[in-house]
Amino acid sequence: SPIPGFKALDVASVLDYLEEKPDLAQLLGPRSSPTSWKAREVGDGNLNFVYIVEGPDGGLVVKQALPFLRLVGDDWPLGQQRIGYEAKALETENRYCPEHTPTLHLYDPRMALIVMQYLAPPHVILRLGLTEGHIYPQLADQVSRFLAQTLFHTSLIHLNSEQFRAQQANFLGNIELIRLTEQVIFSEPYFDASNNWHTSPHLDDLAKSFQTDEKIKAAISRLKALFMERGQAMLQADFHTGSLMVTEQTMFAIDAEFAFYGPMAFDVGKIIANLLLAYFASDGHEAAAGQSRQKQRTWLLQAVVEIWEKFESRFLDLWNAEGHGDLYPDSLFGPTAPAGSKSLKRAQQDFMKELFEDCLGMAAAVMTRRIIGIAHIQDFKLIESDDHRAPCERRALELAKSLLLGAPGRSIQQVVTAAESLR
Ligand code: ADP
Ligand code: SR1
Ligand code: MG
Ligand code: MG
Ligand code: MG
């Protein structure tokens, strides 16, 4: 049931709501006539309602959580506290990576809403830009910076045990969204769940193989355990191409409502998966657009490689400069400890090897859920013809299957080579 005193906003009442907040009203400028402020609802995600409000001096975004999942409606109730976790995550992300995080102006728990910086055009949701064939030359650099900054600084490599537990405790209650991910990413695609759907009959055989192969069930169970048991760092936790707003020069991560302390591999793997999905979808768009998308495909695979490589080197740089937390403590790994720098290097190599393998597993799980689970993506949905879409989806699923089964997993270059060889 809704929070007491809660009111669902609409394009009229959102204006009155903001008028009562002088600091925010000032950012919009004077409301001197009934039409000087304008609002529109632009939510295109699966969960919430998002209003862009513009006045003579500027714009604001109001995001409100209603007590249900937007994609399904009243039949899928969902706690409104999720917006509070988004507010907490935005604060943390703004602390460690302000250049890629929208400013949070207000969190109103009673109204289950946040007010944040408006990312005006030419900012566009990355997924949309990709379906239109665009290239974003800075993206890999920006994404790897956001991931390294947020994941490193919220981990025990940087924080001491007390600081870490206090931070982690802030997100322990985000149970409904954590469970939603457990359900729709790590369980449903692997059995005959009523929420699942896929392009049929084209993918019937392959979809079935995900539900009957014992090695796949073992692999997804290991990844689910990692997701559920490893509170390693604060994750954005829904880090896909629909959660990034970009221009050619800028990148902002929005939509952090799923945030919790989980395995770093989930954030890194999710964005890699989504760029690979865009890669496989591009053939379908090319057929409809009648124009080659080869340049974009080449860039997408380069971006996948660059995200991993730059994430790894940035994270290790941070570790060497600021790694004074309670994991890998200076007493064991500091420069004056016995064999200190040699031991640290070895520990870092082991850490990155494990993280890389887990990222590929998470990437596989994320690719799979978008093709045979409940929540499909525009990348494929916009390919109207089943006959054009199905081969793209099949290639992505084949790659996901091979990654879930542990191959080809030795280097990021091998992964993109495998993706290319499926075309
Ligand atoms: P949901 O949780 O429902 O997925 P999102 O936070 O992803 O909601 O927001 C839905 C849409 O609203 C985004 O895809 C984007 O188009 C728009 N949006 C969200 N935040 C902003 C912002 N700060 N500036 C501009 N547009 C935004
Ligand atoms: C019902 S699943 C909805 C999905 O949308 C969100 O953006 C998350 O990815 C979630 O899994
Ligand atoms: Mg979203
Ligand atoms: Mg900022
Ligand atoms: Mg969301």
Instruction: Annotate 109-170 with DSSP letters as a single string.
Output: TTTTEEEEE---TT-EEHHHHHHTT---TTHHHHHHHHHHHHHHHTSTTTS-HHHHHHHHHT
Q: Does residue 45's CB lie within 6 angstroms of at least one atom of ligand 1?
A: yes
Q: Does residue 86's CB lie within 6 angstroms of at least one atom of ligand 1?
A: no
Q: What average pLDDT score do residues 186-215 get?
A: 98
- C-alpha span between 233 and 244 (Å, rounded): 20
| Confidence category of residue 408, pLDDT binned at 50, 70, 90 | low
- C-alpha span between 146 and 368 (Å, rounded): 25
Cα→Cα distances 198→213, 238, 367, 370, 373, Å:
18, 22, 13, 9, 7
Distance 201 CA to ligand 5 centre (A): 31
Q: Does residue 50's CB lie within 6 angstroms of at least one atom of ligand 1?
A: yes
Atom 1 of ligand 2, residue of closest alpha carbon:
375
- C-alpha span between 187 and 355 (Å, rounded): 22
Q: Tokens standing for 97?
A: 């990576």
What is the model's pLDDT at position 152?
A: 98
Is the preceding omega at residue 122 within 30 degrees of 0, hence cis? Answer: yes
Res. 406: pLDDT tops 90: no
Res. 45: pLDDT tops 70: yes
Distance 110 CA to ligand 3 centre (A): 22
Probe residue for ligand 1, chosen from 48, 50, 180 as the CB with the greatest number of ligand atoms within 8 Å: 50
| Residue ranges, CATH 3.30.200.20, the chain | 13-117
| Right CATH for 124-421 from 3.40.50.11740, 3.40.50.300, 3.90.1200.10, 3.30.420.40 | 3.90.1200.10
Contact 360, 409 (CB under 8 A): yes
Fold of 13-117: Phosphorylase Kinase; domain 1 (3.30.200)
Q: What average pLDDT score do residues 67-90 get?
A: 95
Atom 4 of ligand 1, residue of closest alpha carbon:
45
Q: What average pLDDT score do residues 335-340 get?
A: 88
Is the preceding omega at residue 30 within 30 degrees of 0, hence cis? Answer: no
Res. 340: pLDDT tops 90: no
Distance 112 CA to ligand 4 centre (A): 22
User: 1-5, 65-69, 142-146 — which is least confidently predicted?
Assistant: 1-5
What is the model's pLDDT at position 176?
A: 96
Q: What is the dihedral of CA 155, 271, 72, 401, to 10 degrees?
A: -110
38: nearest Cα among 61, 11, 7? 11
Distance 358 CA to ligand 1 centre (A): 29
| Residue ranges, CATH 3.90.1200.10, the chain | 124-421
- Cβ within 8 Å of residue 342, ≥6 positions away: none
What is the model's pLDDT at position 2?
A: 85
Distance of CA 42 to the CA centre of its chain: 19
| Confidence category of residue 287, pLDDT binned at 50, 70, 90 | confident
The length of the chain is 423
Contact 357, 403 (CB under 8 A): no
Amino acid at 205: D
Question: What does the pLDDT look like over 68-79, one tens digit per residue?
Answer: 999 999 999 999
What is the model's pLDDT at position 335?
A: 87
* ipTM score of complex: 0.99
Question: What does the pLDDT look like over 200-212, one tens digit per residue?
Answer: 999 999 999 999 9
Calculate the average pLDDT of the chain.
Answer: 97
Contact 114, 106 (CB under 8 A): yes
Q: Does residue 130's CB lie within 6 angstroms of at least one atom of ligand 1?
A: no
- C-alpha span between 71 and 113 (Å, rounded): 18
Atom 9 of ligand 2, residue of closest alpha carbon:
238
Atom 8 of ligand 2, residue of closest alpha carbon:
238
Beta pairing partners, 50 = 63
User: 67-76, 266-275, 357-366 — which is least confidently predicted?
Assistant: 67-76
Question: What does the pLDDT look like over 375-388, one tens digit per residue?
Answer: 999 999 999 999 99
| Confidence category of residue 13, pLDDT binned at 50, 70, 90 | very high
Atom 11 of ligand 2, residue of closest alpha carbon:
181
Question: What does the pLDDT look like over 51-63, one tens digit per residue?
Answer: 999 999 999 999 9
Distance 239 CA to ligand 3 centre (A): 9
Q: SS3 for 8?
A: coil
Res. 171: pLDDT tops 70: yes
Res. 374: pLDDT tops 70: yes
Res. 409: pLDDT tops 80: no
Q: What is the dihedral of CA 305, 311, 316, 317, to 10 degrees?
A: 110
Instruction: Quote the Cα angle for 186-188-192, to 5°.
Output: 145
Q: How many other C-beta atoms are found inside a 10 Å radius of the C-beta of residue 85?
A: 23
